[in-house]
Structure 1
Amino acid sequence: MNSEHERKNQVGARRGSSPLGRIERLSPLLLAGYLAILAIAIMFIMLVVAYVFTRLRSGVPTGLHPLPRYFSLSTIVLLLSSYTMAQAPRLYAADDLRTLVRCLGATLLLGCVFAGLQMLGWYELTRNGVPFQGDTSSSSGQFIYLISALHVAHLLGGVLLLLALLLRVSHADRDAVRALVFIRNPYHRRQLQLLGTYWHFIDVLWVALFAVFLFLY
């Protein structure tokens, strides 16, 4: 009996240490979130490949139009939002809900500022002679509108999730009992973990997109 029990434990341990075992231990929430991130990454890779192909095929020299300054400024803002979001797990682990509310609020504000700066960047593109709708010679410029707009749309999805979590944390912080229940609930910890992963992914994604625009625009 003991040897059989030990054998099962060893099999379970080997299975838990394997990639399949780690996937099985993931909660449905985290697994769905990671699959969504993977799908988004594949979509943007395909769009970037299409943009690069169209840009090279157009034969228009790079640097003909300056990249919007608001894109550079928005990149800095998004990096700052990623820093504030990175503080959230530490504050949650320290049971500091009040500071966590401020941290999430700052991230939310920076995310909205990023979206506003992107819109200003689109306006600057039109003033620089890159219309959203034009002939085939400006089709590569239209990819910039499309890719950056899709990125903003996915960021705003993260903003909505962030707002929902912010309201929950703010509500829990008003009462000691609610705060204790909130901190001890593993579902909220997974929510915060998934939101942080998604936000950092959106950040890294934009930095990569900005680098492609910078060198090929």
Structure 2
Amino acid sequence: MNSEHKHENQVGARRRSSPFGRIERMPPLMVVLYLVILAITIMFVMLVAAYVTTRLRSGVPTGLHSLPRYFSLSTIVLLLSSYTMAQAPRLYADDDLSSLARCLGATLLLGCVFAGLQVLGWRELMTTGVPFQGAASSSSGQFIYLISALHVAHLLGGMLFLLALLLRVLHADRDAVRTLVFIRNPYHRRQLGMLGTYWHFIDVLWVALFAVFLFLF
């Protein structure tokens, strides 16, 4: 009996230390999130590859048009939102729901500002001779609108999740018992971690896209 018990412990230890064991213990929602991130990454890689190919085949020299200054401002804003989002796990661990609500609210506000700056950037593109469609438009120019608009759409999905979590935090912060239940619920901690992972991913994705636009526009 002792040998069988020792064998089971050894098998369990190997399973816990192996990558496959960690995958088995990963929550299903985290697996779904990572699959979503993988799918988004593949989609944008394909779009960027198509943009680069079209841009190089056009024969138009780079630097003919300047990248909208609003795109640069929006990049700074999104980096700031990533910083505020990074503070959320620490505030949650400190049981400080009031500060956590302000942190999430600031992140949501910065996300809205980013989306607004993107719209202003599209308007600036149109005024500088890069319309979305028409006789004067180019295929590579249309990719700028398409890629940045898809990025904003994925950011809006994260903002909806962020808004829902913010409302839960505000509701729990009204009462000491609700606060205790909220803090002790591992599901809420997991939600916050998932939101942070997705938000930072969207941030890194835009920085990469901005770099491509900056060097090949």
TM-score range relative to shorter protein: over 0.9
| Correspondence 1:32 to 2:32 | yes
Aligned partners of 1:202 and 1:120: how far apart in 2? Answer: 20
CA contact (8 A) 1:67 1:214 kept: yes
Aligned partners of 1:178 and 1:146: how far apart in 2? Answer: 44
Q: Identify the residue that residue 156 of structure 2 maps to in structure 1.
A: 156
CA contact (8 A) 2:131 2:137 kept: no
Q: Identify the residue that residue 43 of structure 2 maps to in structure 1.
A: 43
Q: CA deviation at 1:192?
A: 0.3
Q: CA offsets per residue over residues 190-213 of structure 1, 9 Å max, x none?
A: 100000000000000000000000
Q: Identify the residue that residue 92 of structure 2 maps to in structure 1.
A: 92
Q: CA deviation at 1:49?
A: 0.5
Q: CA deviation at 1:21?
A: 1.1
* Structure 1: 4+ residue segments shifted above 3 A: 134-137
CA contact (8 A) 1:97 1:169 kept: yes
Q: Identify the residue that residue 55 of structure 2 maps to in structure 1.
A: 55
CA contact (8 A) 2:172 2:178 kept: yes
CA contact (8 A) 2:105 2:166 kept: yes
Q: Identify the residue that residue 169 of structure 2 maps to in structure 1.
A: 169
Q: Identify the residue that residue 20 of structure 1 maps to in structure 2.
A: 20
Gap runs ≥5 in structure 2: none
Q: CA deviation at 1:167?
A: 0.2
| Correspondence 1:198 to 2:198 | yes
Gap runs ≥5 in structure 1: none
SS of residue paired to 2:133: coil
CA RMSD across the alignment = 1.1
Q: Identify the residue that residue 10 of structure 1 maps to in structure 2.
A: 10
| Correspondence 1:127 to 2:127 | yes
Aligned partners of 1:68 and 1:77: how far apart in 2? Answer: 15
Q: Which moved more, 1:4-13 or 1:39-48?
A: 4-13
Q: Identify the residue that residue 80 of structure 1 maps to in structure 2.
A: 80
Aligned partners of 2:9 and 2:133: how far apart in 1? Answer: 63
1:201 is aligned with what amino acid?
F
CA contact (8 A) 2:130 2:136 kept: no
Q: Identify the residue that residue 103 of structure 1 maps to in structure 2.
A: 103
CA contact (8 A) 1:73 1:117 kept: yes
**Using a 3 Å threshold, how does the CA distance of structure 1 residues 137 and 106 change in structure 2: closer, same or farther?**
closer
Q: CA offsets per residue over residues 51-75 of structure 1, 9 Å max, x none?
A: 0000001010000010000000000
Q: CA deviation at 1:137?
A: 6.6
1:10 is aligned with what amino acid?
Q
- Provide the aligned length of Structure 1 versus Structure 2: 217
Aligned partners of 1:110 and 1:43: how far apart in 2? Answer: 25
Aligned partners of 1:80 and 1:191: how far apart in 2? Answer: 21
Question: Percent of aligned pairs with the same residue?
Answer: 84
CA contact (8 A) 1:58 1:137 kept: no
1:161 is aligned with what amino acid?
F
1:121 is aligned with what amino acid?
G
Q: CA offsets per residue over residues 118-140 of structure 1, 9 Å max, x none?
A: 00000000001001013597110
Aligned partners of 2:137 and 2:116: how far apart in 1? Answer: 28
SS of residue paired to 1:145: helix
TM-score of the aligned structures, taking structure 2 as reference length: 0.98
Q: Identify the residue that residue 210 of structure 2 maps to in structure 1.
A: 210
TM-score of the aligned structures, taking structure 1 as reference length: 0.98
Q: Identify the residue that residue 139 of structure 1 maps to in structure 2.
A: 139
CA contact (8 A) 2:132 2:141 kept: yes
Q: CA deviation at 1:27?
A: 0.8
